[in-house]
Amino acid sequence: MIAREWQKIKDYDDIKFEYFEGIAKITINRPEVYNAFRPQTNFEMLDAMSICRERNDIGVIILTGAGDKAFCSGGDQKVKGLGGYIDENGVPRLNVLDLHKAIRSIPKPVIAMVNGYAIGGGHVLHVVCDLTIAADNARFGQTGPKVGSFDGGFGSSYLARCVGQKKVREIWFLCRQYTAKEAEDMGMVNKVVPFDRLEDETVEWCQTILKRSPMAIRMIKRALNAELDGQRGLMEFAGDATLMYYLMEEAQEGKKAFLEKRDPDFQKFPKFP
């Protein structure tokens, strides 16, 4: 693996958050529980995602887990209580769902770099990401009906779009584990590489994406989401159409005319066929 000088962006307890040449890397750093998440982990990832969204020098985000055993093993069963995962104030939370929304919503590609187990809520996490690159030691699967949980959100509907209705029912009903190759064949993993190539391959994908038009990438992510995300997806797609309109002289004319207390002259703008 190429040695890269990842620079720390911000200190957290449960995650590492680093930067390298246009790429942000968020690493769930709880290897003692196979990178299971607790409410604090999700709050920290949400904060990091919000920084990724704001920073103009970040074009693509990698999500991964510390060590070679697990990407993420889902909700931390040790803090699971009535109504969700119990935070430090005793409040039950299901805040990984906010993270799912943030991954869908951020107008930049998010790549799951899967090292080891992507299980339960950890499996949903990679599914929600835009792309998945997996090491050959990766194992994929849902456990919900075995451990008393389920995700009827993106972990079901979007997974079904990736692997088909029959396969998604098998994955959820039987709670089996699948190899990286099986996951690739099913269409829920983009590429499988040897473990020691995982970061190099992922960074190469990021570098290729960074050469592409950020607005085109943004619009295509929005369009692909909109098809599944209903009114919320359309709202985000439409929001970016508005952003593009605001960048046009035609939109500027309306604002200028208002400020100059005159009628706008829209006739000079082309009416495309």
| Footprint on this chain of ligand S0N (rule: CB under 6 A) | 33-34, 36, 73-78, 85, 94, 96-97, 117, 119-121, 143-144, 147, 149, 151
Given a contact cutoff of 8 angstroms between Cβ atoms, the answer to whether 103 and 160 are in contact is: no
Beta-carbon contacts of residue 244 (< 8 Å; ≥ 6 apart): 215
**Least distance (Å) from ligand S0N to the CB of residue 127?**
12
Distance (Å) of CA 231 to CA 99, 226, 234, 269: 19, 8, 5, 31
**Least distance (Å) from ligand S0N to the CB of residue 223?**
26
Closest to 117 (Cα-Cα) out of 174, 77, 65, 155: 65
Name the residue nearer to ligand S0N (CB basis): 132 or 156: 156
Name the residue nearer to ligand S0N (CB basis): 37 or 237: 37
Length, in residues, of the chain: 273
Name the residue nearer to ligand S0N (CB basis): 85 or 237: 85
Closest to 134 (Cα-Cα) out of 184, 168, 100, 177: 184
Name the residue nearer to ligand S0N (CB basis): 20 or 150: 150
Q: How many CB atoms lie within 10 A of CB 223?
A: 13
**Least distance (Å) from ligand S0N to the CB of residue 63?**
15
**Least distance (Å) from ligand S0N to the CB of residue 70?**
6
Name the residue nearer to ligand S0N (CB basis): 69 or 191: 69
Name the residue nearer to ligand S0N (CB basis): 108 or 139: 139
**Least distance (Å) from ligand S0N to the CB of residue 107?**
24
According to DSSP, the β-strands at 23-28 and 15-20 are antiparallel
**Residue 81: strand pairing partners:** 84
Q: Where are the alpha helices (DSSP H) in 55-177?
A: 96-105, 121-128, 144-147, 154-163, 165-174
**Least distance (Å) from ligand S0N to the CB of residue 113?**
17
